[in-house]
A and B are shown apart, each in its own frame.
Chain A
């Protein structure tokens, strides 16, 4: 599995650290309530198919990436800088 870093190009999976579902970009407000926090921390869509997750290019440029990939085929579809994706959410 190779991941395409927008800065560094296609690199070995070993250079990256996996964080988990990209839900981490949408942190609820501190007072959003128990259910919202439970969803954010624990509950997952967990799709068999296309998913979006966060990877950290630890042994490369140090960027946080949102990787869209297929959990059944391991194909990496698109990669975006997490910073850019967050701006889009704001």
Chain B
């Protein structure tokens, strides 16, 4: 089934009775060429690009819950390419280019909206840092515009410019930054992979990884044993547990990140905006809800819900920056389990076990990475060599200290990112 304007019109006139499920619900086969553990954004895009770019279609994605039930459906949907360090920069740049062609490629409306992202700064030091970041983005071939205070006022007239404690000095505008509909990204990749022959097996939890003589042979699941020549662990916040099934200990701590959404209101916030003096960022969904968040709760957690102190901090920071949002009522809040790495950058790599691959460490920024991560992980699985854009995401960088990618410059240590 392909989507088109004509099709939408026809279905609208005939009671929407012609739509069919977007993917099959197959029984697992007894063996596959490749098994991907985890049906989140990264697992699904890996499966899609294995089929699309490498013609490898005897593939199963094993998901313990349902497709899109993990972080891929819990994030605040910001898509940007404003990274600074070599290694990250080219990867996120590649990802944004894939985003820009994604809807046509998938024939799926992921509602990618390049509404512009503005990171505000509030001191001379911050201005210098953002000017430097902007230059790095331009050098990478992406776009950045340094706005002064009046420049920001044109875009965001509703900010509290008179705040004496945290005056707005300006902002770094990334015009191609924006948002996308998170569920649709998962569904679009799922449908694209399924159409090309990939089996999406939901309600199928991996409970063990079978290894013989240092080579992976398959997995144990709640739906039986499934054998495979290659297995990729792509389970985000659950990476530690799944890797433990292969006897590995990872440089990953799982932390909680919260997000909030208000009742739907008329269009008022047209960009993605982040505060430079407190943990707060915001955008408005197409349904009208103000979607906002802040930083981690900052303690290891798998609870998928956070505590009140960070909630209070985020609301306070929001009220400081744009007091008008105090009139909107918060409808819901939730949390997701983040796979935090010591340097805040991800891992896409082989392991010491033959045929076993690892994709993890996405921290709080893995949604924008979904296209390029799937692209690079599929390339690694298919060819055995890292893709150029992801060559820096080595697991051994923590052990050797070579190639650490610490965007925030706080040090490669847990609980600092």
Contact = CB atoms under 8 A, between A and B. Distances in A.
A38 B249 CA distance: 11
B241 interface: yes
B251 A44 contact: yes
A46 B309 CA distance: 23
Contact of A74 (B251, B253, B301, B309): B301
Contact of B249 (A1, A39, A48): A39
Given A44-B250, A71-B301, A1 B307 contact: yes
Interface in B251-267: 251-254
Contact of A44 (B240, B299, B399): B240
A48 B252 contact: no
A48 B241 contact: yes
A80 interface: no
Interface in A9-32: 12-14, 18-21
Given A39-B249, A44-B249, A19 B415 contact: yes
B240 A38 contact: no
B414 interface: yes
B398 interface: yes
B3 interface: no
Nearest to A42: B251
A44 B398 CA distance: 13
Residue of A12, A18, A21, A42 with most chain B CB atoms under a 10 A cut-off: A42
Contacts of B324: none
Given A34-B399, A42-B398, A51 B300 contact: yes
A87 interface: no
Given A43-B251, A74-B307, A48 B302 contact: yes
Contact of B252 (A1, A19, A34, A46): A46
B307 to A, nearest CB: 5
A43 B16 CA distance: 52
Contacts of B254: 46, 48, 71
A83 B254 CA distance: 27
Contacts of B241: 46, 48
Classify chain B: how many residues form its interface, as a range.
Answer: 20 to 34
B309 A14 contact: yes
Contact of B300 (A41, A43, A46): A46
B289 interface: no
A90 interface: no
Nearest to B252: A46
Interface in B387-411: 398-399
B249 A43 contact: yes
Contacts of A84: none
Residue of A44, A45, A47, A53 with most chain B CB atoms under a 10 A cut-off: A44
A72 B307 contact: no
Contact of A20 (B252, B307, B399, B414): B414
Contacts of A45: 240, 249
A77 B222 CA distance: 31
A27 to B, nearest CB: 14
B303 A72 contact: yes
B414 A21 contact: yes
Residue of A35, A48, A73 with most chain B CB atoms under a 10 A cut-off: A48
Contacts of A42: 251, 342, 398-399, 414
B38 to A, nearest CB: 15
Interface string B72-107: 000000000000000000000000000000000000
Contacts of A14: 309
Contacts of B240: 44-47
Contacts of A73: 303
A52 to B, nearest CB: 10
B300 A53 contact: yes
A68 B108 CA distance: 47
Given A18-B415, A41-B398, 16 more contacts: A20-B253, A20-B415, A21-B414, A38-B398, A38-B399, A43-B249, A43-B251, A44-B251, A44-B252, A45-B249, A46-B253, A71-B254, A71-B302, A72-B302, A72-B303, A74-B303
17 contacts: A12-B309, A13-B309, A18-B299, A19-B415, A20-B253, A38-B399, A43-B249, A43-B250, A43-B251, A44-B240, A46-B240, A46-B241, A46-B300, A53-B299, A72-B303, A73-B303, A74-B307
